[in-house]
Structure 1
Amino acid sequence: MTESPTGAAPPPNTKLDKEVLIVAGVVVLGAIMSILDVTVVSVAQNTFQNEFGTDAAGAAWTMTGYTLSLAAVIPLSAWAAARFGTKNVFLASVVLFTLGSALCATAVNIEMLVAFRMLQGLGGGLLMPVGMMILTKAAGPARMGSVMAALGIPMLLGPICGPILGGLLIEQLSWHWIFLINLPIGIIALVYAWFVLDSEYEASRESIDVLGLLLLSPGLALFLYGISGSAEEGTFASTRVLLPAGIGLVLIVAFVVHALRTDKPLLDLRLFTNPTLRTALITMSLFAIAFFGSSLLFPQYFIGIRDEGTMMAGLLMAPQGLGAMVTMPVAGRLTDRMGPGKFVLSGITVIFAAMLTFPFIGADTSYWVIGGALFVMGLGMGLTMTPIMTSALARLTPTQVPDGSTLLNVTQQTASSIGTALFSVLLASNLTSHKESGLAILSNASEDDYDKLVQAGQAPPKIEDQWFDWAAQAFGHSFIVSCVLVAITIIPAFFLPRTRITPAEGAPPPMVH
């Protein structure tokens, strides 16, 4: 690198060249398979109940089993990449995921489908963290923001395109095709990765931390299994929730103690001494709980309150993805030059301003208003997600990146699951309380008083007509919590670097072509 006449180093080369874009294409292809599959299967829950003669709880295991496999295998990412090389692990992940997809399409009962979904999860859980490692190596620290923007696109489009694609495949073909569609994508990704990815690696971890594996993987899986049960129970105060979540939390705490005492832990928690990584993970946790948790409210509102189909609900969510696509590439590239803090703070502020629309949502709120607010939220999302991921990894050395990427993915998966559980319980509780309070008003009123309530606009002529207004209010009150959580996220985001992050010692210089 040469210096300018004034002695100052020139700005880093943040443009993604052809080689990096080709590698990014491989990783994005794998990410699309993994993320899209989660939302596609969520659309098929009623279909699974009818096809296999099971109830809602049985069909839900097609999602729960997949999530538990993800939770169990993600902690292995750093060790597997260091032991076998990122290319080999990525190829194996694609094979497992594609094989699991093919087997899912052959399932003849719900038990087989759940088992094959768990096999899918073993592959899918490694695709994202290992993909981040590959991209970080290919791009170098100076271009982390630009390359993370490419990886963030499937993370945003999956929840939007999934319901549309799933509904289309089920309605026009059959449920088998929500899995069969992964076969050509998987084969293309496999061949693509075989020729494109670098096969050189150093086996820096010959042995695995067996005790750490026995603590963290089941601990994380049990914790997520417990909190996911809150959506089914409608409360956190249930044995079904507290027992597995409590056991899982004990195992996770035991892993933390173990990891800080051993030389080569399964996951190096000493990375938390890096202030930039630590702040980024805290910001990511709060943001994922608030944003991804509250995101499940929108399709439920469209389907339950507005009586829309699954495909239409997906289409109505599209403005959010479009907004993110506008700002994400710009934020990614400018983050490399200006640092992440300014963009994260701006993005969270934009999301908060747009989200203030939804506490006031009603049973007949204009779709133009909702779509406009979702688009603005998408703009904020594009400004936020990429810079957070960039700041988490940009100050790490090449040997630290595998552990950092794994920590980032564990954090995001756990926080998203907590957010989903939190808002599921909030919505269930608010629906119950609004219905009960509304019925109490009507049941305690005499006929004359009831007529006065009708005339005053406080009660409709028919109780069933009022249900949609009560339910919409329940959604609105749930969105109040999301607004508060988004606002709290500003606190850790304030401490993210607001100038360009300088690479850590030992990090490779940016490649110039």
Structure 2
Amino acid sequence: MASRSPRARPERPAAVPIPARIWWMAAVTGSGAFMAMLDSTVANLALEPVRSEFGTTLALVQWVATGYLVAGAVSLPAAAWLGDRFGHGRVWAVSLAAFTAASAVCALAPGPMVLIAARAAQGLAAGAMVPAGQAVIASEAGAERMGRLIGALGVVVSLGPAVGPAVGGLLVEAVSWRWVFAINVPVGIAALLAARALVPAGRADRSRRLDLRGLLLLGTGLPLLLFGATEVGAGGAAPLPLLAAATGAVLVAVFAVAAVRAASSPLLDLRLLGRPAFAAATATAALTGAAMYGGLLLLAVYLPEAGRGGTEAGMLLLAMGLGSAAALYAGGALTDRRGPRAVSVVGAVLLAAATAAVLLPGPEGALSTAALAVVLVVRGAGMALAQMPAVTAAYGAVPPGRVGDAATLVNISQRVGGALGAAGVVLAVVAGGGGPRGYVVGFTALTAVALLAGLTATALRRGGAGPSERD
């Protein structure tokens, strides 16, 4: 009797090569995102030196950081319309030029009001620049290359929050707070010069009209929601932030209803959320955003309480950032090869396990420094592996002509998720009575968020809108 030959395993498709031109284009557009992320973190280190030099109050100087956040949420809703109307590459270049010019004004500011105004201009530029750059990459690369590109860019962008405090602290102490902003100027000029040969202007649709009502609703509601949630996350449930968050949520809800009912040309095409794969991707991005920003806030409070000094706590958070960067490098190739679902689910499980492990010895004890460093490296890696494939899947789940709307919706979901996650952590700790029990409640809530992200990630699929979805 002849023996049966073993069934041959189907070969996995080889990864589609990425031309050098695409890599260089991604690097140039990614430089803008890196500067935007860097400035969102390092500016906090300059607040006290700014207050001291200008002889003003901390309440006023705080708007150097808050104004950047709020202004970015004002321009973000218009990013998709601007990209479709003028071309995503043009919008990115103009936004980068504005961001660079505003950085120069920040560095030369003669007083606090000029600095705050220039920071708001930076935020307005960043709000349009980041999704426009992502739309350029998605349009030029194609779904089969997005995993590696998003992963590689994620390494660079994730290093902004990781190394930003260290670099910013060095600049503030060794030179001046002004160099925190001045360093953007040569980087921005170099990127603009390189973009002339590498970044396509994009297709301009001069017929697309501006949904002014939608812009007013979302351009007002989103900043209020983010401002209120961020303030709650920073200082508890004060009446004014809660009112701002509630008002913002109502305006965003009214916008959503109006956009879905619009006969044509809404500010954002929310019907994309009717695609199960895109809805799952944006939900996963929002949940991982909540886990990331909520976790950073909780760890920043917990580590000193657990006996970690400022330097040690900073190094532990840096380890988590480096874990994210390393995982992004490998996760991009895995996403292109195996699809986003498996990678994201595994990442969410790692994220949940590492979050829960922070309090393994119990609320009264603490892990050793070495053990905690390992746990945080795993947490950072899980975060990257859960979030990056979801972003990749979002671009692959929409027709090519709707990548601008997809980029804007993904960025909004991440920002809203992050702000609500930070606020939710504060409320969870307060509900737990503060102290050791409050930390247990907070880390348990973050673990649940990570598990929920894993659940939504099970609906992700490999990119490429089908023929019936391209209208």
Question: Normalising by the residue count of structure 2, what TM-score does the alignment of the two structures yield?
Answer: 0.90
Q: What is the distance in 1 between the residues matched to 2:306 and 2:103?
A: 34
The answer on whether the counterparts of 1:161 and 1:314 sit within 8 Å (CA) in structure 2 is no
After superposition, the Cα gap between the structure-2 partners of 1:474 and 1:16, relative to the gap in structure 1 and judged at 3 Å, is same
Q: What is the distance in 2 between the residues matched to 1:423 and 1:185?
A: 36
The answer on whether the counterparts of 2:344 and 2:457 sit within 8 Å (CA) in structure 1 is yes
Question: 1:279 maps to which residue?
Answer: 280
1:412-469 alpha-carbon deviations (Å, 9 max, x no partner): 1111111122224444666xx45xxxxxxxxxxxxxxxxxxxxxxxxxxxxxxxxxxx
Residue in structure 2 matching 1:485, options 444, 449, 453: 449
The answer on whether the counterparts of 2:222 and 2:249 sit within 8 Å (CA) in structure 1 is yes
Q: Which moved more, 1:419-428 or 1:389-398?
A: 419-428
The answer on whether the counterparts of 2:154 and 2:325 sit within 8 Å (CA) in structure 1 is no
Secondary structure of residue in 1 paired with 2:261: coil
**Alignment partner of 1:143 is 2:145:** yes
1:228-287 alpha-carbon deviations (Å, 9 max, x no partner): 22135411xx43023222222222122112212220011111111111000111112122
Please report how far the alpha carbon of residue 306 of structure 1 lies from its aligned counterpart in structure 2 after TM superposition: 3.9
Residue in structure 2 matching 1:405, options 407, 416, 426: 407
Q: What is the distance in 2 between the residues matched to 1:106 and 1:258?
A: 43
Question: 2:45 maps to which residue?
Answer: 43
Question: 1:467 maps to which residue?
Answer: none
Secondary structure of residue in 2 paired with 1:25: helix
List runs of 5+ in structure 1 lacking aligned partners.
1-5, 435-469, 509-513
**Alignment partner of 1:68 is 2:70:** yes
Q: Which moved more, 1:292-301 or 1:410-419?
A: 292-301
Question: 1:494 maps to which residue?
Answer: 458
Secondary structure of residue in 2 paired with 1:267: coil
**Alignment partner of 1:133 is 2:97:** no
1:153-205 alpha-carbon deviations (Å, 9 max, x no partner): 23422221111011111111111111111111111111111221113523254
Question: 1:215 maps to which residue?
Answer: 217
After superposition, the Cα gap between the structure-2 partners of 1:416 and 1:385, relative to the gap in structure 1 and judged at 3 Å, is same
**Alignment partner of 1:246 is 2:246:** yes
Please report how far the alpha carbon of residue 303 of structure 1 lies from its aligned counterpart in structure 2 after TM superposition: 5.1
After superposition, the Cα gap between the structure-2 partners of 1:492 and 1:223, relative to the gap in structure 1 and judged at 3 Å, is same
Q: What is the distance in 2 between the residues matched to 1:246 and 1:299?
A: 26
Q: Which moved more, 1:283-292 or 1:86-95?
A: 283-292
1:91-131 alpha-carbon deviations (Å, 9 max, x no partner): 11111111111111222333222211100001111222111
1:57-106 alpha-carbon deviations (Å, 9 max, x no partner): 33322111111111111111111111111221111111111111111122
The answer on whether the counterparts of 2:72 and 2:123 sit within 8 Å (CA) in structure 1 is yes
Question: 1:14 maps to which residue?
Answer: 16
Secondary structure of residue in 1 paired with 2:203: coil
What is the root-mean-square deviation of aligned Cα atoms in Å?
Answer: 2.5
Secondary structure of residue in 2 paired with 1:399: helix
Question: 2:338 maps to which residue?
Answer: 338
The answer on whether the counterparts of 1:52 and 1:109 sit within 8 Å (CA) in structure 2 is yes
Q: What is the distance in 1 between the residues matched to 2:198 and 2:389?
A: 27
Q: What is the distance in 2 between the residues matched to 1:95 and 1:330?
A: 32
The answer on whether the counterparts of 1:141 and 1:503 sit within 8 Å (CA) in structure 2 is no
- For residue 504 of structure 1, what is the amino acid of its counterpart? G
Q: What is the distance in 1 between the residues matched to 2:364 and 2:196?
A: 52
Q: Which moved more, 1:472-481 or 1:487-496?
A: 472-481
- For residue 335 of structure 1, what is the amino acid of its counterpart? T
After superposition, the Cα gap between the structure-2 partners of 1:175 and 1:32, relative to the gap in structure 1 and judged at 3 Å, is same
Q: Which moved more, 1:252-261 or 1:9-18?
A: 9-18
Please report how far the alpha carbon of residue 368 of structure 1 lies from its aligned counterpart in structure 2 after TM superposition: 0.6
Q: Which moved more, 1:407-416 or 1:420-429?
A: 420-429
Question: Normalising by the residue count of structure 1, what TM-score does the alignment of the two structures yield?
Answer: 0.83
Q: What is the distance in 1 between the residues matched to 2:141 and 2:307?
A: 45
Residue in structure 2 matching 1:418, options 417, 420, 430: 420
Question: 1:385 maps to which residue?
Answer: 387
Question: 2:350 maps to which residue?
Answer: 350
Question: 1:298 maps to which residue?
Answer: 299
Question: 2:370 maps to which residue?
Answer: 368
List runs of 5+ in structure 2 lacking aligned partners.
1-7
Following superposition of structure 1 onto structure 2, how do residues 82-481 of structure 1 map, counting pairs within 5 Å? Answer: 82-203=84-205, 205-235=207-237, 238-262=238-262, 263-302=264-303, 306=307, 308-309=309-310, 313-359=313-359, 360=362, 365-427=367-429, 433-434=433-434, 470=435, 474-481=438-445
Percent identity between the two aligned chains: 33
Question: 1:505 maps to which residue?
Answer: 467
The answer on whether the counterparts of 1:393 and 1:401 sit within 8 Å (CA) in structure 2 is yes
After superposition, the Cα gap between the structure-2 partners of 1:474 and 1:174, relative to the gap in structure 1 and judged at 3 Å, is farther
Q: What is the distance in 2 between the residues matched to 1:223 and 1:96?
A: 25
Q: What is the distance in 2 between the residues matched to 1:43 and 1:426?
A: 27
After superposition, the Cα gap between the structure-2 partners of 1:248 and 1:387, relative to the gap in structure 1 and judged at 3 Å, is same
Following superposition of structure 1 onto structure 2, how do residues 21-60 of structure 1 map, counting pairs within 5 Å? Answer: 21-60=23-62
Aligned residues: 459
Larger radius of gyration: 1
Please report how far the alpha carbon of residue 305 of structure 1 lies from its aligned counterpart in structure 2 after TM superposition: 5.3
Please report how far the alpha carbon of residue 361 of structure 1 lies from its aligned counterpart in structure 2 after TM superposition: 6.2
Please report how far the alpha carbon of residue 53 of structure 1 lies from its aligned counterpart in structure 2 after TM superposition: 3.3
